[in-house]
Amino acid sequence: MKFYLLAFCIASFGCSPRNDERAKSNPQSDIEIKYATGFKVTAVGNSKLVEVTYPYQGATSGYKYLLVPRGKDIPEHEENVKTIRTPVSSIVCTSTTHIPLLDYIGETKALVGFPTTDYISSEKMRERIDRGEVKDLGVDKSLNIEKLVSLRPALTMGYTMTSDYGQFKKIEEFDIPVVINAEYLEKHPLGRAEWIKFMALFFDKSLKADSVFRAIEKNYLHVKTLADSVESRPTVMSGVVYGDAWFMPGGQNYAAKLMKDAGCNYLWADDSSHGFLQLGFEKVYEKANNADLWIGVGLLKTLDEIRAVDERYAKFKPFKEKHVYSSDARLGAKGGSEALELGYLRPDIMISDLVEIAHPHLIDHELYFHKKLQ
């Protein structure tokens, strides 16, 4: 199963939609959401009501957007609903995870601004950046509002970790609508990927997004089924020390779910947290010193570099046996991580990498995001 061929197929949008897919693209129909829990879509006449139900950790209410086709009357709606005319012609995004969503629905050209463009890895988008068609808007949390406003984007897509709407309020004062994308809170890998449907709503590209997602879903579930058949699951440790604590995915974290679906026994799988654990080195060593695999070592690039950071890392079995893997195999032209940009849309490649690492006899797959450290 060579996923570079799949990537070409999906990016080319060569799959013809079936009749039921055409029905889903009809403005009169609701959009089918199978895995994502952070947004929902309902039809309101010729328009669509899009609700981001959980915009940040701990949120007690969400944000609502009424998407009205150009030339159509605006239907009656609640006061707290923002109206956006579709399709939008241009957009400012604030997270690299938004970039593949544009690329895969054929709207690369719509991006006009981004904070710290060096982080972007997409080759298509980098070409536009090099031509000066995408403006650098400064640091994410202190956007150059003046520069953004001068671009007059039809839409700004942001994200937030808290209820602080700060800079987004300033943007909206200039009649530039802001929508919140909360994909990072999804717990299921396919839930994150399904936010391509969210992006597509603003461009009237729901049919295309649905086709792309179906291909990703099909391949993810196929690989998961293969992994479900294994009798022996290698034990896996993850993360490294930052400051005074070892950071690793919680047992219900997105990464933990990926490892489970790939036929791995993540040593902290029984933990109930969805975020990241912060543990002492000794506690991690006690549980993971005999792990089979070490997957995810932050920005560390070689075994020698890992040992140089802390000699104690060399005591772990996967270090001794050279079964340590990084997810930074692919970096953009300016050093941006392709795994952190494209990986959330392509969990099918992520799970295939993990199965290749844990059960190489199951599939014929060349590691894409991950690499074995030497």
For residue 19, the model assigns a pLDDT of 38
Is 39 contained in some domain?
yes
Is 242 contained in some domain?
yes
Question: Of 5-14, 288-297, 309-318, where does mean pLDDT reach its minimum?
Answer: 5-14
Q: How confident is the model at residue 142 (pLDDT cuts 50, 70, 90)?
A: confident
Does the pLDDT value for residue 25 go beyond 80? no
CA distances from 77 to 17, 105, 174, 300 (A): 32, 29, 22, 51
245 and 214 inside one domain: no
Which one-letter DSSP state was computed for residue 297?
-
Q: Per the structure, how many domains does the chain have? A: 2
Q: How confident is the model at residue 140 (pLDDT cuts 50, 70, 90)?
A: confident
Which residues contact residue 114 at a Cβ distance below 8 angstroms, ignoring those fewer than 6 apart? 92, 93, 94, 99, 120, 134, 135, 136, 137
Question: In DSSP terms, which residues pair with 52 in a beta bridge?
Answer: 39, 63
180 and 312 inside one domain: no
Does the pLDDT value for residue 299 go beyond 80? yes
**Other C-beta atoms within 10 Å of 34: how many?**
12
End-of-domain residue from the set 218, 244, 260: 218
Is 156 contained in some domain?
yes
Does the pLDDT value for residue 27 go beyond 90? no
**Other C-beta atoms within 10 Å of 2: how many?**
12
Question: Of 20-34, 224-238, 268-282, where does mean pLDDT reach its minimum?
Answer: 20-34
For residue 21, the model assigns a pLDDT of 40
213 and 309 inside one domain: no
60 and 153 inside one domain: yes
| Owning domain of residue 363 | 230-372
End-of-domain residue from the set 218, 252, 267: 218
Does the pLDDT value for residue 26 go beyond 60? no
8 and 145 inside one domain: yes
Which residues contact residue 243 at a Cβ distance below 8 angstroms, ignoring those fewer than 6 apart? none
Is 225 contained in some domain?
no
- Cβ proximity of 83 and 77 under 8 Å: yes
Is 268 contained in some domain?
yes
66 and 14 inside one domain: yes
Task: Give me the residue label for tokens 């993540």.
Answer: 266
For residue 30, the model assigns a pLDDT of 63
CA distance linking residue 341 with residue 321, whole number of Å = 30
Does the pLDDT value for residue 20 go beyond 80? no
Q: How confident is the model over 33-76, as pLDDT tens digits?
A: 999 999 999 999 999 999 999 999 889 999 999 999 999 999 98
115 and 152 inside one domain: yes
For residue 79, the model assigns a pLDDT of 84
91 and 34 inside one domain: yes
CATH code, 23: 3.40.50.1980
For residue 334, the model assigns a pLDDT of 93
For residue 274, the model assigns a pLDDT of 86
Does the pLDDT value for residue 96 go beyond 50? yes
Is 42 contained in some domain?
yes
Is 224 contained in some domain?
no
Is 72 contained in some domain?
yes
Q: How confident is the model over 166-219, as pLDDT tens digits?
A: 899 999 999 999 999 999 999 999 999 999 999 999 999 999 999 999 999 999
317 and 212 inside one domain: no
- Cβ proximity of 253 and 57 under 8 Å: no
Give the mean pLDDT of 135-150: 92
152 and 252 inside one domain: no
CA distance linking residue 187 with residue 190, whole number of Å = 9
Average pLDDT over the chain reads 91
For residue 85, the model assigns a pLDDT of 97
Give the mean pLDDT of 107-120: 97
202 and 312 inside one domain: no
End-of-domain residue from the set 159, 183, 218: 218
Q: How confident is the model over 245-255, as pLDDT tens digits?
A: 999 999 999 99
Q: How confident is the model at residue 141 (pLDDT cuts 50, 70, 90)?
A: confident
In a 10 Å sphere around its CB, with 0-12 CB exposed, 13-18 middle and 19+ buried, how is residue 76 labelled? exposed
Which residues contact residue 50 at a Cβ distance below 8 angstroms, ignoring those fewer than 6 apart? 39, 40, 41, 64, 65, 66, 67, 179, 198, 201
For residue 122, the model assigns a pLDDT of 97
For residue 77, the model assigns a pLDDT of 83
117 and 12 inside one domain: yes
